[in-house]
Amino acid sequence: MTRLAFRHVLTPEGLVADRALSVDAAGRIEAIEPSAGPWDGFLAIPGLPDAHSHVFQRALTGFGEARRTTHGAGPEDSFWTWREAMYRLAGSLGAGELRDVARLAFGEMVAAGFTSVAEFHYLHHGAGGEPPLEMAGAVVDAAREAGIRLTLLPVLYERGGFGRPLREEQERFSLGGLQGYLRLLAELEARRRGAAPGEAFGLGVAPHSLRAVEAASLPALLEGAAEALGPGFPVHIHVSEQRGEVRACRAAHGLTPVELLGRHVPLDARWNLVHATHATPDERTRIREAGATVVLCPITEAWLGDGLFPADEHAARGGRLAVGSDGNVRIDAAEELRTLEFGQRLRTERRARLATEEGLGAPLWTLVAAGGAAALGARVGALEPGAFADLVVLDEDRPTWAGQGPARMLDALVVGGSRADLGDVYVGGRRVASGGRAAGGEEAAAGFRRVVARLAADLG
């Protein structure tokens, strides 16, 4: 039993003062009770779930930022040109390098306030011929070493676009069809069930997108996954990220991606629609009525020039939102929320878009933590009995929020702070980072540097 005491705790009911959390051997909060100290910190808030990550892409930060000179029909810089660089990286990584990159990125996540992650994993074949179970194992091992709570989402990737075969560079993402996919899922479930208590991880499923998966195969995927995993697993899919994708879907099916999805499967609360940037007002209504979560990746969407989802309007109408670090070009929970809020301000020419009368930081953090918990299918994102003791401590003396009481510290963090402002970070009641730095971060950085040096030499 661990006991952690704080001067203030952000609970689903709001801030409470002078409380101790008792944490059981499995890392869950047993009780939150009045306390007179000694104190483990000033303000404890729930760690945010990172609801969408492609961890290997962390190695691409800084590559491919120069403007391309285009002549005539040449490509303009966009998501689609960036994707080519990502394919070259994906094609060159083996299991060892994947583990090194993931170890650094997962460490950065916990140091940055993301205490759990939904890893959307499609690097199924390693450059050295490593098989899918070994590649997935590299991600699971890296998460355990970094101390982050993992929900692994193995990805089904069947084709190269609407009605198009896989391209050569995409073959590493394929498991040879649904049967191969379900085999990997069953193998991972066996590993999950056999894991020691400190090595637990969650599983869900992820049809990559309606570009890469035939909508008609979704019912069989859900059925097969239910046989392997039992009921209640989360389902994630990229949808309507790019206007080009929406156009191609309309051309192939006469329907938008969300309409096409709804034709083949019942949308419900286990669905997590990643991006949904260009969903229409009717589609957004459908998503809300289904209780599905929209997973926004504000830094990545800004970086790739995707566009802006009207998150303020969606949240005001009761829509469920989560955030993800996606391309991992920059890993920082506060900065994701800031980019989310500031994007809405730029779009509407108004302030306080995702704020309530209480403020911005605490309501937004609480909203996105709850959405993230749904996305991971885990009891996280809320400091309450029964949930995991995944939390971030904010110390009183940071200049970022000087002069603000506990109620406004999160406002200052979201508009002006960064991971460097965070104090201790705990996952399951165990400290895994402090002051914006992960435990074991130096060693992880050394492994990461070796991979990026190799990439710089190979990719230019």
| Residues known to be catalytic | 275, 326
Distance CA 348, CA 345 (A): 5
Contact region for Zn ion (CB under 5 A) — 59-67, 255-263, 324-332, 425-433?
324-332
Minimum Å gap between C-beta 50 and Zn ion is: 12
Contact region for Zn ion (CB under 5 A) — 21-29, 70-78, 260-268, 326-334?
326-334
Indicate the residue among 114 and 426 with the shorter CB distance to Zn ion.
114
DSSP β-ladder status, 437-438 and 271-275: unpaired
Minimum Å gap between C-beta 173 and Zn ion is: 12
Partnered with residue 20 across adjacent β-strands are: 5, 33
Tell me the two tokens of residue 43.
């303000």
Indicate the residue among 319 and 327 with the shorter CB distance to Zn ion.
327
User: Where does residue 268 rank: exposed (0-12), middle (13-18), buried (19+ CB within 10 A)?
Assistant: exposed
The pair phi, psi for residue 209, each rounded to 5°, is -175, 170
Minimum Å gap between C-beta 58 and Zn ion is: 13
Indicate the residue among 55 and 409 with the shorter CB distance to Zn ion.
55
Closest CA to 290 of 329, 258, 325: 258
The pair phi, psi for residue 448, each rounded to 5°, is -65, -45
DSSP β-ladder status, 29-34 and 114-121: unpaired
Contact region for Zn ion (CB under 5 A) — 180-188, 247-255, 323-331, 398-406?
323-331
Indicate the residue among 22 and 325 with the shorter CB distance to Zn ion.
325
Interhelix angle for 218-229 vs 178-194, to 10°? 20
**Which residue type, as a one-letter code, is found at position 101?**
V
Minimum Å gap between C-beta 432 and Zn ion is: 25
Distance CA 386, CA 115 (A): 17
Distance CA 166, CA 173 (A): 9
DSSP H/E element including 425? strand 425-427
Indicate the residue among 301 and 326 with the shorter CB distance to Zn ion.
326
Of 230-249, which residues contact Zn ion (CB under 5 A)? none
Per-residue binding string, Zn ion, 137-166, x by CB under 5 A, is ------------------------------
- Contacting residues for 405 by C-beta, under 8 A, at least 6 apart: none
Tell me the two tokens of residue 63.
């590559």
Closest CA to 362 of 407, 403, 324: 407
The pair phi, psi for residue 385, each rounded to 5°, is -55, 140
Minimum Å gap between C-beta 307 and Zn ion is: 15
Indicate the residue among 326 and 424 with the shorter CB distance to Zn ion.
326
> DSSP states of 104-133 as a string?
HHHHHHHHTTEEEEEEEE---S-TT---HH
Query: Is-contact 108 148, C-beta < 8 A?
Result: no
Indicate the residue among 323 and 414 with the shorter CB distance to Zn ion.
323
Minimum Å gap between C-beta 327 and Zn ion is: 7
Indicate the residue among 55 and 287 with the shorter CB distance to Zn ion.
55
Closest CA to 139 of 187, 91, 99: 99
Size of the site for Zn ion (CB under 5 A): 1
Per-residue binding string, Zn ion, 280-319, x by CB under 5 A, is ----------------------------------------
Minimum Å gap between C-beta 120 and Zn ion is: 6
Q: For Zn ion, which residue has the nearest CB?
A: 326
Of 58-117, which residues contact Zn ion (CB under 5 A)? none
Minimum Å gap between C-beta 300 and Zn ion is: 7
Query: Is-contact 49 322, C-beta < 8 A?
Result: yes
Partnered with residue 433 across adjacent β-strands are: 425, 438
The pair phi, psi for residue 420, each rounded to 5°, is -65, -20
The footprint of Zn ion (CB under 5 A) covers 326
